[in-house]
């Protein structure tokens, strides 16, 4: 498993309320994320979480981490709709709404960049 010099990148749209504009946010922006993933795989069942031994357990682990950080967090939410939509027709978009359909692609990207073998 490769940990050094691995930069994980997956971007979502996020509203920056300080500057009143939309920005691209890297969900793996913290540089220690590869080490955390490697530690989780090495640790196995020693902690209170299911061990990461195959693709499905890895996907469950990544899903739990991303849900914890990006599901229904008000600082990551914005409303989206058509240019001429009425206010009632806008949809709430949060980080998890953008990440959930791409979960398999995110897991495959992490596995390939970190050269993880199960």
Whole-angstrom Cα Rg for the chain: 17
CA angle centred on 47, ends 42 and 52, rounded to 5°: 45
What residue ranges do the domains of the chain occupy?
11-114
Could you report the per-residue pLDDT of 10-54, keeping only the tens digit for each? 999 998 888 999 999 999 988 788 988 888 887 765 565 678 889
Could you report the per-residue pLDDT of 51-93, keeping only the tens digit for each? 888 999 999 999 999 999 898 887 778 889 999 999 889 999 9
Kindly report the pTM of this predicted structure. Answer: 0.86
Q: For residues 57 and 76, give the distance between their C-alpha atoms in angstroms, rounded to a whole number.
A: 27
């Amino acid at each position: 498993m490769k940990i050094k010099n691995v930069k994980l990148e997956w971007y979502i749209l996020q509203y920056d309320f300080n500057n009143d504009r939309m920005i691209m946010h890297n969900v793996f922006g913290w540089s220690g994320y590869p080490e955390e993933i490697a530690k989780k795989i090495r640790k196995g069942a020693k902690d209170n979480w299911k061990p990461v031994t195959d693709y499905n357990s890895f996907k469950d682990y990544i899903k739990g981490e991303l849900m914890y950080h990006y599901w229904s967090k008000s600082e990551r939410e914005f409303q989206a709709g058509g240019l001429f939509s009425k206010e009632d027709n806008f949809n709430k978009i949060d980080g998890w709404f953008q990440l959930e359909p791409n979960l398999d692609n995110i897991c495959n990207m992490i596995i390939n960049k970190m050269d993880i073998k199960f």
